[in-house]
Amino acid sequence: MRRYFVGGNWKCNNTIAQTQSLINTVINKLVFDTKKVEVAVAPIFLHVPWVQANIQKNVQVAVQNSSLTKMGAYTGEISVEQVKDLAIPWVILGHSERRQYYGETNEIVGKKTRIALDYQLSVMACVGEKLAEREAGQTTQVIQAQLDAIKKELTTDQWSKVVVAYEPVWAIGTGRTASPEQAQEVHAFIRGWLKSQIGTQAEQATRIIYGGSVTEKNAADLIKQPDLDGFLVGGAALKPAFADIVAAANNAR
């Protein structure tokens, strides 16, 4: 059985005081079975060292991005060597906001994923379609192209350190959520792609998580879907509701 995964993407939010409050009042009070559920949170880069020093031992720390380039004369970038040097185990790559606002193409996301995995980081690799693409019946084609670009860069063994996060762009921060049936349909497609393109081991072991206006109100219904292995949580990860979402995974099956 795949272990559930719940990630909290804090995006570009919080002062240091707000981060300290979130850690002390929500994150450090989470109680869950670590054999059943894996939890990681991704603060802004500036807050990572404080979070690392003060977070409870059962919750891991992630970064929200890493560079296409390594250490060197690349102003404003954070390299995978620097992430690894801080012993941060996880990185989020390919988020739709990175694709939309910072021009990250499928090819860039694939290359970033390979670089992170080459340095033994684990990756939450995000895929998802825009509303116009869904309405045009192009959801699976869009996601296949995103996955194909990652496959082009990875070895078969490297997929063991990848969690695929399906985040329909039309549901991120909009209050609209894919229905459990819509989410399951896409997750089943991704699992089928893993079987045909990577192999049976990847199909069975790779966790596919859902993101897109996940809240404490819809998490319990979403997690019942057979190919849904957890969540990548945005806005609700900044609130006490995050504890309820972790609990939904902890209480599932």
Residues designated catalytic: 95, 167
Q: Residues near 43 by Cβ (< 8 Å), separated by ≥ 6?
A: 10, 14, 19, 51, 61
Residue 203: both structure tokens together: 């199909």
Residue among 248, 106, 245, 238 nearest 173 (CA): 238
Distance CA 75, CA 160 (A): 32
Distance CA 113, CA 122 (A): 9
Q: Kindly report the three-state secondary structure assignment for every residue of 127-192.
A: ECCCHHHHHCCCHHHHHHHHHHHHHCCCCCHHHHHEEEEECCHHHCCCCCCCCHHHHHHHHHHHHH
Q: Is the dihedral of CA 12, 14, 16, 22 positive or negative?
A: negative
Distance CA 18, CA 11 (A): 13
